[in-house]
Amino acid sequence: MSEQPTPTPDQTTHFGFRDVPVAEKQKLVGQVFTSVARNYDLMNDLMSFGVHRLWKRHFVAVSGVRRGDRVLDLAGGTGDIAALLKPVVGAEGEVVVGDINAAMLDVGRDRMTDRGLVAGLRWAQLNAEALPFPDNSFDAVTMAFGLRNVTDKGKALADICRVLKPSGRALVLEFSRVHNELFGKLYDFHSFRVLPKLGQLFAGDADSYQYLAESIRKHPDQETLKGMMERAGFGRVEVRNLTGGIVAIHRAYKL
């Protein structure tokens, strides 16, 4: 892999619909998720009418993860995906839950402990752009609803490829581009008119949920993300749209 250029002080990136210095985005995203951590799952249910749980189950079901696999779940946050993966990998396997935000990891670890899910789970605070693992460490890497918050997505995808074993699988579940125009208008109304009000009512934080809605619109669409994964070193990139393209699963293999 080629070296990633170091951002210069005057470089900017998007934080929702705002342009901010590259060096500040990680801190701003961290503030959002520290704010929403305790109400994250409740808000996901309210925002998606509970459908996010079906998306996540389907994501794991088509992941190809098998008993005995070692899986890295990035942006693992409150442990939703880890809880679904653990029965699949079984006692012989391991799930490492990685997230850049300590508050999200605390919520997830406490929740999994309360459910008796301790053995075979590891928790790591990390940056997806610089994973603290050796090359060829994992059979699969999953990332659900986290890639859009990463500052340098190309760098993160390349590092995911690095830590995968040869022929290992990367799976990204993320909001994407809605295809139907009428459905898209309804979705925009829900995102920008309803979602911030739900955030204010149930979490006391409208601004964070305004950012989350904006971050979805700034995320690469299905074909763009597919191309980014191919440039990061992946092959056989498959895209599966769910719920009219509101979300998409990208599955790829390390060459």
pTM: 0.84
Is the residue at 132 inside a domain? yes
Is the residue at 84 inside a domain? yes
pLDDT value at residue 135: 98
* CATH code for the domain in which residue 215 is found: 3.40.50.150
pLDDT value at residue 72: 98
Give the dihedral sign, CA 40/57/146/89: positive
Q: Which domain holds residue 233?
A: 12-179+210-254
**What tokens appear for 28 in the block?**
């701003």
2 Cβ partners below 8 Å, 6+ apart? none
**What tokens appear for 66 in the block?**
């098998």
Is the residue at 4 inside a domain? no
pLDDT value at residue 6: 46
Cβ contact 253:167 at 8 Å? yes
Number of domains within the chain: 1
Is the residue at 194 inside a domain? no
pLDDT along the chain (255 residues), means of 10: 45 69 72 70 77 96 97 93 96 96 92 91 96 98 94 96 98 92 81 81 77 83 97 97 95 96
Is the residue at 105 inside a domain? yes
188 Cβ partners below 8 Å, 6+ apart? none
Cβ contact 175:195 at 8 Å? no
Q: How far is CA 175 from CA 17, 218, 222, 225, in A?
A: 16, 10, 9, 11
As a whole number of angstroms, the distance between CA 117 and CA 25 comes to 33
The 3-class secondary structure across 137-160, one letter per residue, is CEEEEEEECCHHHCCCHHHHHHHH
Is the residue at 186 inside a domain? no
pLDDT value at residue 234: 98
Is the residue at 203 inside a domain? no
Is the residue at 202 inside a domain? no
